[in-house]
Amino acid sequence: MDAASELTLLKRALRLYAGQHVVDRVLEMKERAFDLDGQVVAASLMFVDVARFQPSADKCEPSTVEQVVNHYLGVVTSSTGVHGGVFDAFIGALQSPTVRGAR
């Protein structure tokens, strides 16, 4: 894989896990984006539970459940990113997106 293809792949992965606004900020800040000197900021936490998810999921094909979950997570992360937010993690029975073939 050439350097340009690798960079494109890394940008896509970062966008998937953290959002386009994070990709943009890293590209804008360059090496400064990795400074770990800390910063005090106002922050909010969001906890979400999808009511009656398991009984509904049990009635669907796995591929349908995957599509629904991916759509939901996409909407939540996109709308959070529009407001400058960043998801640190999805926890619970549903984990963050996985890479096919990863162990």
Predicted confidence (pLDDT) per residue in 9-59, tens digit: 999 988 887 778 888 888 998 888 888 777 787 888 878 777 888 888 889
DSSP 33: G
Token duo for residue 50: 């999808």
pTM over 0.75: no
* Residue 34 shares a structural domain with residue 56: no
* Residue 58 shares a structural domain with residue 76: yes
* Residue 48 shares a structural domain with residue 31: no
* Residue 68 shares a structural domain with residue 83: yes
DSSP 92: S
Q: Rounded CA gap, 15 and 35, in Å?
A: 20
Q: Rounded CA gap, 20 and 95, in Å?
A: 20
* Residue 92 shares a structural domain with residue 50: yes
What DSSP assignment string belongs to 62-83? HHHHHHHHHHHHHHHHHHHHHT
% of residues, the chain, pLDDT over 70:
88
Kindly report the number of other CB atoms within 10 A of residue 37's CB atom.
5
Range of the domain at 1: 1-40
- What domain count does the chain have? 2
Q: Rounded CA gap, 5 and 3, in Å?
A: 6
Work out the end-to-end distance of the chain between its first and last CA atoms, rounded to an integer number of angstroms: 22
